């Protein structure tokens, strides 16, 4: 039995799509993760920060939540997430900044508990 938490409903749905549209899964694995995320010009943590800011600006909130978890794994701190929320609010609009905070609630609340 795995100690991994169950994926969120949004992530579970995305995994279902990848199962039903295997070409998307292959492109994600081979091109996005196997090439784009491996380019050396930006560190993984910086790619995560940029990705999260873009997802927030575009209103892609389901994807934002899972990418914020990855961002933490890539070294983004809760303080940096707070800073991103404020920065996004002024460049992409207040609702987008709030979306960062909402998507990061578990991370930010977990920090206070830890």
Q: Where in the chain is the domain with CATH 1.20.1290.10?
A: 42-114
CATH fold group of domain 42-114: AhpD-like (1.20.1290)
How confident is the model over 48-89, as pLDDT tens digits?
A: 999 999 999 999 998 999 999 999 999 999 999 999 999 999
Cβ atoms of residues 101 and 108 within 8 Å? yes
- Count CB-CB contacts under 10 A for residue 102: 14
How confident is the model over 17-45, as pLDDT tens digits?
A: 999 999 999 999 999 999 999 999 999 99
Q: How far is CA 76 from CA 7, 26, 37, 49, in A?
A: 21, 27, 16, 7
Q: Residue 73: what pLDDT?
A: 96
Tell me which H or E stretch contains 72: helix 61-73
Radius of gyration of the CA atoms of the chain, in A:
15
Total-model pTM = 0.85
């Amino acid at each position: 039995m795995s100690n991994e938490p169950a994926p969120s409903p949004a992530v579970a749905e995305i995994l279902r799509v990848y199962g039903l549209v295997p070409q998307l899964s292959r492109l994600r694995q081979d091109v996005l993760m196997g090439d784009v995320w491996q380019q050396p010009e930006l560190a993984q943590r910086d790619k995560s920060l940029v990705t999260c800011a873009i997802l927030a600006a575009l209103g892609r909130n389901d994807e934002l939540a899972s990418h914020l978890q990855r961002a933490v794994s890539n070294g983004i701190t809760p303080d940096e997430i707070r800073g991103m929320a404020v920065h996004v609010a002024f460049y992409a609009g207040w609702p987008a900044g709030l979306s960062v905070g909402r998507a990061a609630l578990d991370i930010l609340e977990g920090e206070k508990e830890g």
